[in-house]
Structure formats: C-alpha cells, structure tokens
A and B are shown apart, each in its own frame.
Chain A
Amino acid sequence: MKPSDSISKMALVNTIVAKASFVRSNRYMFAGLCVFVGIVLFSSMGTVVIPYHPVRIGNVPRDLLPSYEHPLGTDSLGRDILAQLCFGTLMSLQVGFIAGIVGFAVALAVSFIGGYRGGNLDSGLTILTEVFLTTPSLVILILIASLVRRIDIPLMALIISTFAWAWPAKTMRAQVLSLKERGFIYLSKLSGLNSVEIVVKHMIPNILPFLGSYFAVVVSAAILSAVGLEVIGLGPRDTTTLGMIFYWAMMHSAVTRGLIWWWFPPCVMLFMIFLSLFLVQKGLDEIANPRLKSR
C-alpha cells in the first residue's frame, strides 16, 4: 500500500465521521430522513397488513365511504383506496429511484468526463446538456410514452431517465471544474495516480454531500415526471401508482362528485414524499456548504 493511499483513507474516514455526527445536528436532514423512512414503513406495512388486492377491479364493493373495514373507503372500480395508496406509494418510489439511479449515473459520467477532460468533448457535452435542459421534457416523454403500447414500471423509469440526467450533469460539471484546480488534485497527479483513481478516490469523496443532494433532486424530479405521465393516462395500467390513482379518480370525476377520500390521500402522500426529499437535499446542501446556514 502506497503511503498516499493510507493518508487518503484516513482523511476519508475522518471526513465521514465528522459528517456523520453533523447529520444528527442537521435538523433539515434529520426531519427529511424521518419523514421518508416513515412513508416507506407505513406503505410497506400497509401492503402486508391490508387484506384487499390493490389492483384487481371489483374485489370490494364500489364507492364505499370510509369505514372500519376500509379506512379510506373504496373507489368507483371496487378497490380499497388505502391498499392502493400503500402499494402505489411503493411503486412510485420505485419508478423514482430506478430513474434516479440511471439518470444520476449518466450525469456522473457526463460531468466527470466532460469537466475533467475539458476540450471539445466538454463543449459538446455541455451543449447537449443544455439542449436537454431547454426542451420541455414532459412533452417529449408524452410523445414517447403515447407510442409505447404496454408500459410497466421499469420501462416507465427508463423513459423518464432520458431527461433526468441533464440538470445534475450541469451542476456537477461546475463542481468538477472548481475541484480539479485544487492543490490536492495536482498533488495526486504528481504522485502518479491515473485519472480514474483521482476521480474515484479524491474527487467524488470530496463532493459526496453535493452528490447526495443532487440525487435527492433527481429522484423527486423523476417521481414528478412519472406522476405527470400517469395523470394524463400514459401510466402502467396493470399496476397502481400514486399517479394512476389520480388518473382513475379523474376518469370518474371524483373531485366534482365530492369523493375526497379518493383523491386527497395521494395528494398528501405525494406532498410528503417531495417534502422529505427536499429536506434531505437542503440538509445535504448545508453539510456541503455550511455558509448556506443563514442566521
């Protein structure tokens, strides 16, 4: 083991320990994580405990008011709404995370290759990123999704990830540009590390909180696009997600029929998901850049 290796490992361990203790003292981060874990626990418990099928049409009586057997009532297609809510939340999170991971990986590659290498490749990638940023993504997603006959959760996530990478790629590139001029990067180049080692061992650990915060943004943007597609009727019809609940509720004019227990719980759930991801992102931003803590 080269001495530089052990030094960088120690530094890494030190920063991780320092940041970990910071997480507890960061109220945004803490609150966000609590809400998020709460949502996941609630919906996982729900899918296990609730005896009704969340998707099959007509497995319970239609249009029931909330009662002891059906805490959120049933919809006009004969499905328990709480069962749909719990299952749909998990499915929506799944879309968000698959699209988020794919989009984030692409963004990571684009920003590090472009930002680190520079030159024409970087100019090309930057322009490509900006093109994806200026194009109204939901419209293109609608166009693609409307021509795919049968859509399922992974396919949906993949379609969404075609646009999910642009924003993080742009912001991460700026981070890479400022990072690569720092002294310790020059030092590690001098000590004979190759580009991949520098990026993986020295650059990424240094902007880890930033990366975490971008990931949270990408996931919530992906969930947002997914729900957008689903509400308009381009979602997976043989399963249920939060957006599909809205879709069915709108198809059956739930709002103007006063069936508030049908459309309002998914609104609340969606809000909680976005809020928790936003808080995590804000907390990570503060950890990455303590000056953001406005007093």
Chain B
Amino acid sequence: MGLPYLVRRTVVYALSLLGGVIINFVVPRLIPGNPLQAKLMELQRMGIRVAGQDFVDKYMRIFGLNEPLHIQFINYLSSLAQGNLGVSITRFPMEVKELIAIYFPWTIALLCTAQLLCFLIGVPLGALVGWRTNSKASNVVFAFFLVLSQMQYYTVAMTLLYLLAFVLPIFPTGAAYTYGADYNAFQFILDVMWHAALPAVSIILVGVGGWTLAARGLMVGVKNEDYIALAKAKGLKDRQIFLSYALKNTLLPQITDLAITMGFVATGSILVEVIFGYPGMGFLLYRSITSLDYPLIQGISLMYVLGVTTAAFIVELLYPVLDPRVRYE
C-alpha cells in the first residue's frame, strides 16, 4: 500500500465519520415532501400524541429546511460541530443531546467493563489452551468456548434472564439501580453492580469465546516459532517460556482485534440492553424506534458511529507503540 500507516488510518477514520454524517443527513431527506410534516402526520395516524406548532417552528429553525441542499449540509455540519443534535419528538422540550447525556454513561461503563474483562480472561485462557493442545482438559475447554462463541448476546441474555431472574430470582429483571431507594454511596455502587451483573455476564460469556478461539489459533502458530525452540534448548522452564515468550506474542496482535470487535460489541449490546431494560443508549435507541422519534434515532446512530470509529482509531494509533515490530510506515 502506497500510503503511510498514519495517513491511511486518519483517512479511513475521517471518511468513516464523514460517511456516518452524510448518511445521517441524506436518509431523512429521501422521504418525499416535508419530512417533518410527513412524520407528524404518520405519528398522528398511529394515534401517538405529538408536539404542536412550536415544535415545528423550532425544528425548521434548527435545520433550516427551506434552504438549498448544500447550504443545509453546511448548516448541518456547523450545528453538529456545536454539539447540536436536534430535538426529540416524543419527549419534546428535551434535546437529543440531553437525552444521550443521561443514557450514555450507563452504556460506556457496561461496555468498557465487559470488553476489558473479555480480553483479560479470553486471551490468556486461549493462549493456555493453545499451549497445551495435547491435554484433555484443554480440549474440553476449547470445545466449550467454541460452542459459546457461536451463541449470540441476546440468546445468552434471554437465557440468563430466565434462569437467574425468573426461575431463581437472584438478580433484578431490569433497570440499572433500585429507583427511590435511600442508599449511601457504597450501597449504591453495589446496587449498580448487582443490576449490571447479568447484562455484563451475557456480553462476557459470548465475548470470551471469540477471544479464546483467536488466541488459541495464534498460540498454535507461535509455538512453532524458532525463539520458542531456542528457549526450550536453553533449558527454560515450560511455565517461564509460556509467560514471558509465548503469551506476550499472542497478546499483542490481538490488540488490533480489540478495535475491530469494538463496533461489534457496541452494537451487539444494544439488544442486551433492550432485553434487560438497562437504561443505556441501546435501550434509548429501541425506545426511539418504537415511537418513531427520528431525530433521536439519528442522534444516537451518529453517537455510535463517532464512538466506535474513534475508539478503533485510538487503538490503531497506539498499536505500533505497543508492538515495536509494527512501524508507522
């Protein structure tokens, strides 16, 4: 590839963002006629109570819908740059960004914890399984995670919800904390963890499967490398070779996968949040879809695109720092 690493990553990042913004701009305008009137009429036909003329005015003013398209696009970009995402239809006086600000922290906390745990459990486990391909225990573990990796977040989530919240009511069936309870800070944290446990576990269970498989595959390759043979010839202990030679080299290449799977986990968790009624972005998105709140749908999708591509970009920039074998060519 002709372009240097840094430039290529930046171009890809910029284009992904631009693509997300353009889709967000174009898709609603593909609806013939005044999109706002069409939406309001559609909502009224469905018997949903909608905001009145002041909403229409505010919307028209914010988006300048009477301007020519290219002016509209520039206006759209500049309002995005100011962090303006429009106004929610179903929760009218609320702006989309205010709603997102309420729901966003829950998602980010859940996702980061789950993704980090997946990586920290899955990779060493997979490396160990790959290191000991001949032992029976490692083959059983491998088969178990192979099965897990083919499950989906939502099927695992529904099963956990059924077993641990309905059959054995150990965990709550929804929400992120007990509403109206009078807790001190410590009790509140425990309460939050108790509510987040099942959603997090369903993401982790599936995620760990994928990481284990990938790490095992890498380890099988690393095991045949010359430096492992050399370490053995030097008479190092098996444990020492595994920890300081093999594990490191299976860990590093997986860091880029951390970036690639980010999007997958983020979007997969939408459904987990819906199933557990966990008040994150996915749940908000589900609500906005069922109530046809288009500005909200668009604002949330844009946030997802922004979040996922930025996270991937950061990981890709950091990767050559972590693994000296890769250079910013």
Nearest to A258 among chain B residues (CB) is B166
> Are the CB atoms of B154 and A246 closer together than 8 Å?
yes
**Which one of A123, A142, A147, A246 lies within 8 Å of B1 (CB-CB)?**
A123
Interface residues of B in 264-289 (CB under 8 A from A): 264, 266-268, 270-271, 274-275, 285-286, 289
Least Cβ–Cβ distance between A93 and chain B, in angstroms: 16
**Which one of A128, A256, A271 lies within 8 Å of B151 (CB-CB)?**
A271
> Are the CB atoms of B275 and A255 closer together than 8 Å?
yes
**Which one of B165, B266, B304 lies within 8 Å of A256 (CB-CB)?**
B165
The 0/1 profile, CB within 8 Å of A marked 1, for residues 130-163 of chain B is 1001000000000000110111101100110110
Nearest to A253 among chain B residues (CB) is B173
Least Cβ–Cβ distance between A210 and chain B, in angstroms: 16
| A260: B residues at CB distance < 8 A | 162
Interface residues of B in 66-96 (CB under 8 A from A): none
> Are the CB atoms of B155 and A256 closer together than 8 Å?
no
For A127, A143, A147, the residue with the greatest tally of chain B CB atoms inside 10 Å of its CB is A143
**Which one of A123, A144, A231, A255 lies within 8 Å of B271 (CB-CB)?**
A231
| Stretch of A39-47, A133-141, A187-195 that contacts chain B | A133-141
Least Cβ–Cβ distance between A20 and chain B, in angstroms: 26
Q: Is B30 interfacial (CB 8 A cutoff)?
A: yes
Q: Is A171 interfacial (CB 8 A cutoff)?
A: no
> Are the CB atoms of B162 and A294 closer together than 8 Å?
no
Q: Is B58 interfacial (CB 8 A cutoff)?
A: no
> Are the CB atoms of B289 and A146 closer together than 8 Å?
yes
> Are the CB atoms of B27 and A232 closer together than 8 Å?
no
Q: Is B254 interfacial (CB 8 A cutoff)?
A: no
**Which one of B12, B20, B146, B173 lies within 8 Å of A127 (CB-CB)?**
B12
**Which one of A126, A143, A227 lies within 8 Å of B27 (CB-CB)?**
A143
| B33: A residues at CB distance < 8 A | none
**Which one of B15, B31, B155, B266 lies within 8 Å of A136 (CB-CB)?**
B266
> Are the CB atoms of B150 and A275 closer together than 8 Å?
yes
**Which one of B1, B152, B167 lies within 8 Å of A126 (CB-CB)?**
B1
The 0/1 profile, CB within 8 Å of A marked 1, for residues 288-300 of chain B is 0110101001101
| Stretch of B101-109, B235-243, B305-313, B318-326 that contacts chain A | B305-313
Interface residues of B in 1-42 (CB under 8 A from A): 1-3, 8, 11-13, 15-16, 19-20, 23-24, 27-28, 30-31
> Are the CB atoms of B263 and A232 closer together than 8 Å?
no
> Are the CB atoms of A131 and B12 closer together than 8 Å?
yes
Q: Is B260 interfacial (CB 8 A cutoff)?
A: yes
For B158, B290, B308, the residue with the greatest tally of chain A CB atoms inside 10 Å of its CB is B158
For B28, B147, B304, the residue with the greatest tally of chain A CB atoms inside 10 Å of its CB is B304
> Are the CB atoms of A127 and B8 closer together than 8 Å?
yes
> Are the CB atoms of B28 and A232 closer together than 8 Å?
no
Task: Please measure, in the bound complex, the distance between the C-alpha atom of A144 and the C-alpha atom of B289, giving whole angstroms.
Answer: 12
Nearest to A224 among chain B residues (CB) is B152
| Stretch of A1-9, A65-73, A102-110, A262-270 that contacts chain B | A262-270
Whether A233 touches B289, Cβ cut-off 8 Å, given contacts A123-B1, A146-B294, A274-B150, is: yes
Task: Please measure, in the bound complex, the distance between the C-alpha atom of A133 and the C-alpha atom of B270, giving whole angstroms.
Answer: 19
Task: Please measure, in the bound complex, the distance between the C-alpha atom of A271 and the C-alpha atom of B151, giving whole angstroms.
Answer: 6
> Are the CB atoms of B312 and A143 closer together than 8 Å?
no
Given A136-B266, A142-B301, A232-B270, list of 16 further CB < 8 A pairs? Answer: A127-B12, A135-B309, A136-B308, A138-B270, A140-B23, A143-B24, A227-B154, A231-B271, A232-B271, A246-B158, A255-B166, A258-B166, A267-B158, A270-B155, A271-B150, A275-B147
List B residues at the A interface (Cβ < 8 Å): 1-3, 8, 11-13, 15-16, 19-20, 23-24, 27-28, 30-31, 130, 133, 146-147, 149-152, 154-155, 158-159, 161-162, 165-167, 173, 220, 260, 263-264, 266-268, 270-271, 274-275, 285-286, 289-290, 292, 294, 297-298, 300-301, 304-305, 308-309, 312-313
Can you sample 24 A-B contacts with CB below 8 Å?
A: A123-B3, A127-B8, A134-B12, A134-B308, A135-B19, A136-B304, A139-B267, A139-B300, A139-B308, A146-B297, A147-B27, A147-B28, A227-B152, A228-B271, A232-B271, A232-B286, A233-B286, A246-B154, A255-B161, A255-B166, A258-B166, A275-B147, A278-B146, A294-B220
